[in-house]
Structure 1
Amino acid sequence: MYKKVIGFGVLIVLIALMITNYIDQQKVEEEESNLYDVTGDTGAQGAMISSGDTTGIEVGETAPNIELETVDGETFSLTDLRGKKVILNFWATWCPPCREEMPEMQKFYDEHKDEVEVVAVNLSDTENNLQDVPDYISQYGYTYPIPMDKEGTVASAYSVITVPTTYFIGTDGVVQQARKLGPMDYEFMEEMVEALN
């Protein structure tokens, strides 16, 4: 009888452990499924960084100026790029879709940098460690400008709530295409830039 009671007790403990493990696994899967769908739009991909105004800078509005230090320690000003078309991207090292699009952005930059500037503003206030940014850039050899938004002021001015987010700015400094939420590929960048003046 004593062996049956012990056996029954062990069986109860094992069942309880299985149920607890199952519940924990469900929570992890739910959290992972929310890594990309942060907008409620099943077509959008990105990672949420903050709440706020979701409309962003509208087509036809002048892009707010950006004055930040780059990852290389240089001063960057968006107004210095007037006369060039600009792809203005917002990203973070912890964002998988950002990592996905960055090689495409480098390829586009390498082939079009004479007429189009690719700028990738790092949301440095969301990084775990600021050193992650130069380490990541160096590891993959990205050469386009990387301004560091250490206070989150530029992300706020552009109403960036998901990353990556990209704006397309014409030679006149005006946003000329609807912003893109989620990763871009080379063909998409070509299409957007062709429509800029």
Structure 2
Amino acid sequence: MNKRNFALAIVALLIGIFLVNIFQDQQEKKEKEEAAKLAEESMDLSNAEQGLAKGDQAPDFELTTLAGEKVKLSDYQGQKVILNFWATWCPPCKAEMPHMQKYYEKNADKENVEILAVNLTSMDEGRNAVQEFVDGYELTFPIPMDVDGDIGGEYRAFTIPTTYMIDTKGQIQHKIVGPMNEEMMGEMVAGMD
């Protein structure tokens, strides 16, 4: 009798493991579908709920960089701009920054492109943390500091990183929610005037 109960317990355990695996596979599939849908929606700027739309003039702003220089978005009219919103504590931002730096080093002059990596300072861990981050990643592009959070709010950078691709006329061409890699930046910049 004990052997039979033991065998039934093993069979029940195996069935349980099988059912858990099926459930996990379905959950993973659902999560992947949701992530793909979110990525697709973040690339589609025609949705008015997202605020700024493709073809809109990018709202101008003036911020002070980590290096203490004043920058205005309108000063970059005539250049393509990768306008990125980030924070030091954000893992996807950490993953994205080396790609941005590599892209910047290779293409800033060649592609007439500037990267403005706006630190959401109002949500971050202080100026020293930002400086350590910039030094640690050896970033050479401008780091404007959004101390009050106004610019991040205007650009609806609620999920970070959030990036806007702005053409030479100052018009928004793409919005990307989530990290980018060097290849993705190259393709988007190449497709803009």
TM-score range, shorter chain: 0.7 to 0.9
Give the percent of matched residue pairs that are identical in Structure 1 and Structure 2: 44
State the superposition RMSD in angstroms: 1.8
The aligned residue for residue 113 of structure 2 is 116
The aligned residue for residue 182 of structure 2 is 186
* Unaligned ranges ≥5, structure 2: 1-30, 40-47
Cα distance, 1:129 vs structure 2: 2.4
Cα distance, 1:159 vs structure 2: 1.0
| 8 Å contact from structure 1 (residues 54, 160) kept in 2 | no
Cα distance, 1:130 vs structure 2: 2.4
Equivalent residue of 1:145, what SS? coil
The aligned residue for residue 192 of structure 2 is 196
TM-score by length of 2: 0.74
The aligned residue for residue 35 of structure 2 is 42
Cα distance, 1:42 vs structure 2: 2.1
* Unaligned ranges ≥5, structure 1: 1-36, 46-52
Instruction: Indicate how the Cα distance of structure 1 residues 89 and 41 shifts in structure 2: closer, same or farther if over 3 A, else same.
Output: farther
Letter in 2 for 1:155: G
TM-score by length of 1: 0.73
In 2, Cα distance between the equivalents of 1:87 and 1:58?
16
1:164 matched to 2:157? The reply is: no
Structure 1 residues 21-60: aligned runs within 5 Å: 41-43=34-36, 44=38, 55-60=50-55
Decide which structure has greater helix share.
2
1:130 matched to 2:123? The reply is: no
In 2, Cα distance between the equivalents of 1:91 and 1:80?
21
1:98 matched to 2:93? The reply is: yes
Cα distance, 1:54 vs structure 2: 5.7
The aligned residue for residue 26 of structure 2 is none
The aligned residue for residue 151 of structure 2 is 154
The aligned residue for residue 58 of structure 2 is 63
In 1, Cα distance between the equivalents of 2:187 and 2:68?
32
Q: How big is each residue's C-alpha offset from its partner over 1:6-64, in whole Å with a ceiling of 9 and x where there is no partner?
A: xxxxxxxxxxxxxxxxxxxxxxxxxxxxxxx9xx942358xxxxxxx960311010000
